[in-house]
């Protein structure tokens, strides 16, 4: 678990990098990221959540939902998200694209109020960076602090990435044909889990705010460059 001091320090340096020119599409930074800012998502992020899930390939939709979800089914899923009861976590890139998200759904049945279910999705071009595992860790910490004692993951048995994340955390995985269920018992919350979640959420919120500002800055700069280019082309046509 990253200490609060390291989280704040990493957020500072990440914020400085946001106002550098955006990377060329498909090019990854050479340095290994120190941390991954994760923030809670609310109703104002509904459009980006929809875009994220619609951006999944048919095979990825099948792994995420357990069936080949059509566009209208995904839109219905998003419209049914309960932001007051459940917790949605997301990771944004510098272009304000939601590249990874997790849904921590709390049980509504009276006999299972101390249980929660976890689901995650990562866009294809953002794979291999550990985002799924980081979102899982974030969800576990939040669940602990909310008094959850058992985390469930229902996944297709072929979804090895998700099941490996669960196993690495110590979950017990039971396979039933094409489906698998993972059960992870959570320790009770303590001062460290509560303070760490507060710092991580603050870092995630700050990171998102900086990315919004940087996005607006580069959009404005590109607009000014287009205006100057148009004026220069018009001047060249007039003088010719």
Q: Residue 72: which CATH number? A: 3.40.630.30
Does a structural domain hold residue 108?
yes
Q: What confidence tens digit (pLDDT) does each residue in 64-119 have?
A: 999 999 999 999 999 999 999 999 999 999 889 999 999 999 988 766 678 999 99
Rounded Cα gap, residues 149 and 133, in angstroms: 19
Give me Rg for the CA atoms of the chain.
21
Residue 231 reports pLDDT greater than 90: no
In this prediction, what percent of the chain has a pLDDT beyond 70? 74
Q: What confidence tens digit (pLDDT) does each residue in 191-206 have?
A: 999 999 999 999 998 9
Does a structural domain hold residue 87?
yes
Bridging pattern class, strands 172-176 and 150-156: unpaired
Q: Tell me the residue range of the domain where 157 lies.
A: 38-220
Q: Give the side-chain half-sphere CA count within 13 A for 62.
A: 9
Which pLDDT score is estimated for 227?
60
Does a structural domain hold residue 11?
no
Give me the mean pLDDT over the 41-69 stretch: 96
Does a structural domain hold residue 64?
yes
Decide which of 233 and 155 is more confident. Answer: 155
Does a structural domain hold residue 238?
no
Which pLDDT score is estimated for 212?
80
How many domains in the chain?
A: 1
Does pTM surpass 0.85? Answer: no
């Amino acid at each position: 678990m990253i200490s609060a001091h390291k989280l704040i320090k990493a957020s500072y340096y990440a914020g400085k990098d946001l106002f550098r020119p955006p990377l060329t599409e498909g090019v990854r930074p050479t340095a290994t990221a120190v941390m991954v800012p994760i923030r809670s998502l609310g109703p104002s992020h509904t459009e980006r959540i929809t875009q994220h899930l619609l951006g999944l390939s048919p095979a990825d939709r099948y792994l995420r939902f357990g069936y080949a979800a059509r566009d209208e089914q995904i839109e219905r899923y998003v419209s049914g998200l309960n932001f007051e009861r459940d917790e949605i976590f997301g990771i944004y890139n510098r272009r304000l694209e939601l590249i990874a998200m997790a849904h921590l759904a709390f049980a509504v049945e009276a006999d299972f109020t101390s249980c929660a279910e976890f689901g995650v999705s990562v866009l294809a071009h953002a794979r291999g960076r550990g985002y799924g595992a980081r979102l899982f860790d974030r969800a576990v910490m939040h669940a602990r602090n909310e008094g959850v004692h058992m985390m469930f993951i229902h996944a297709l048995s072929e979804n090895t990435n998700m099941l490996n994340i669960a196993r690495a955390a110590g979950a017990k995985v039971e396979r039933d044909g094409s489906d698998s269920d993972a059960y992870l018992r959570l320790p009770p919350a303590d001062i460290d889990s509560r303070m760490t979640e507060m710092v991580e959420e603050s870092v995630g919120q700050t990171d998102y705010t900086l990315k919004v500002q940087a996005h607006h800055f580069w959009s404005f700069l590109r607009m000014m460059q287009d205006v100057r280019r148009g004026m220069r082309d018009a001047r060249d046509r007039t003088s010719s």
